[in-house]
Amino acid sequence: MRSTLDELLTELGELKALVASIEPVNAALMDHKNSVVQRYITIRRRFDYAAFTVALYASFEKFVENLITAYVRLEARRVDYAKLPQKLTDKHLTRTAELLWRRRVGEGRYVGMSELGVVRNLFACLSGAKPYVLNEAVVTAHDANLRAAEVDDVFGAVGIDNVCERACRADAIIAWYCTDQALDMPPQGGVKRAVIEGRLKDIVERRNQVAHRGGNVDNLLGGEAMGGSVAFIESLATAIFGLVVARYLETHHANSASRIELSLRAGESRLRAGKVVILDKPAQKLFVGQPVFVLMKTSGARWGRVQSLRIDGADVQEVASNANAPEGVGVGLDFKFPKGGTTLVALATEDDVVWNPSAPVG
């Protein structure tokens, strides 16, 4: 699942490089005497915009579809088909039937599928077979471009509700909005949903204009505006990813044997911009580099690794369950512990679905 965000960020990095190249290249060619080169500058400006607009939306759409696919694949390994969210099984059944009835297997998003394979998968699901395979392409299918309402619908169908509303309070969106609007203080209660709705709508409509008019649009974006669109999609995708990760952590680690719940020591305040917490002595071993996370009901999750451990003023690499820590254990994190939070969760084993491979700390 982690790779879906990594892939998107790589593609957005390439778009940033494209945007950054437009003005310098045009400036370098501006004084060229060749009339063909001069004409190229004018044409290039229009088609740079067209390529950028189509690629930006396509990258976001692919990210959403790949993230949903990765999530439902994990859920299918965890629970029986009958225990999946009702919205998910309803969509899987009706969209599979529609796919077969319209005889669209092998076309468009359904390339590589066969009617026999689709029917076999559906039969296994409905008959309670273990393991089973979902027809994933029908789960990610959507009837309209990914404006805010459609984003809510496709994630709601797999049991993750109100994605855009909750994304408004996510760290990534708030940070983007403060930068975009040059704000010194974040907005209370998060960003207004209308901001996300408006930005997504603009990107979708520009993409449709390019697709239908071949790039011959009246309102071309300049380099700064293009960069702003990339930054918005990056922040929105990061926020959505955090919400999906939160749901995964809830479902897959709620009763996990590797789960270690760590309570903040009563009365202790968080230090160093919230990246250090003081915990009661843990019931199980803690160690530097250990994966940890915090769930936030309205805005997803924060996760990372233990960066440092401290007992009685001394740094240590690990804390045993029987350690003497009358003043608690200081834990350095690589993310801010949320205000009002009371519990940090550590995992005794690795989880490469969410965490990057462990690297030496220090």
Q: Do 315 and 286 lie in a common domain?
A: yes
Domain presence at residue 352: no
| Digit-coded pLDDT (tens) for 64-106 | 999 999 999 999 999 999 999 999 999 999 999 999 999 999 8
Residues 185 and 263 in one domain: no
Q: Which of 231, 253, 275 is the last residue of a domain?
A: 253
> 228 and 283: one domain?
no
Specify if 353 maps to a domain: no
Domain assignment present for residue 360? The answer is no
Phi then psi for residue 62, to 5 deg, are -65, -40
Indicate the length of the chain as a whole number: 362
Domain assignment of residue 357, yes or no: no
Q: What is the pTM of this model?
A: 0.91
Q: Cite the DSSP H helix spans in the chain.
A: 2-29, 35-78, 86-101, 115-126, 136-140, 148-156, 163-167, 171-180, 193-213, 223-253
Task: Report the alpha-carbon distance of residue 304 to residue 295 in Å, rounded.
Answer: 12
Q: Residue 270 is part of a domain; what is its CATH number?
A: 2.40.30.10
- Could you list the residue range(s) of the whole structural domain that residue 272 is in? 259-347
Contact 180, 172 (CB under 8 A): no
Peptide bond connecting 131 to the previous residue in cis, omega within 30 degrees of 0? yes
One domain, residues 229 and 328: no
132 and 28 part of one domain: yes
Nearest residue to 311 via CA among 293, 332, 341: 332
Has residue 141 been placed in a domain?
A: yes
Give the strand pairing for 314-316 and 291-296: unpaired
Same-domain pairing of 294 and 204: no
Number of compact structural domains in the chain: 2
Q: Which uninterrupted H or E stretch holds 296?
A: strand 291-296
Q: What is the pLDDT of residues 175-196, one digit of tens each?
A: 999 999 999 999 998 999 999 9
Q: Are residues 267 and 286 in the same domain?
A: yes
pLDDT 10s digit of each residue in the chain, 362 long?
899 999 999 999 999 999 998 888 877 777 777 777 777 777 777 888 889 999 999 999 999 999 999 999 999 999 999 999 999 999 999 999 999 999 999 888 899 999 999 999 999 999 999 999 999 999 999 989 999 999 999 999 999 999 999 999 999 999 999 999 999 999 998 999 999 999 999 999 999 988 887 655 667 788 899 999 999 999 999 999 999 999 999 999 988 889 999 988 876 555 545 788 998 888 889 999 999 999 988 889 999 999 999 998 899 999 988 788 888 899 999 999 988 777 899 999 999 999 988 765 44
Domain match, 48 and 126 both: yes
Residues 7 and 145 in one domain: yes
Last residue of a domain, one of 238, 253, 268: 253
Q: Tell me: do 230 and 327 sit in the same domain.
A: no
- Type of residue found at 141: A
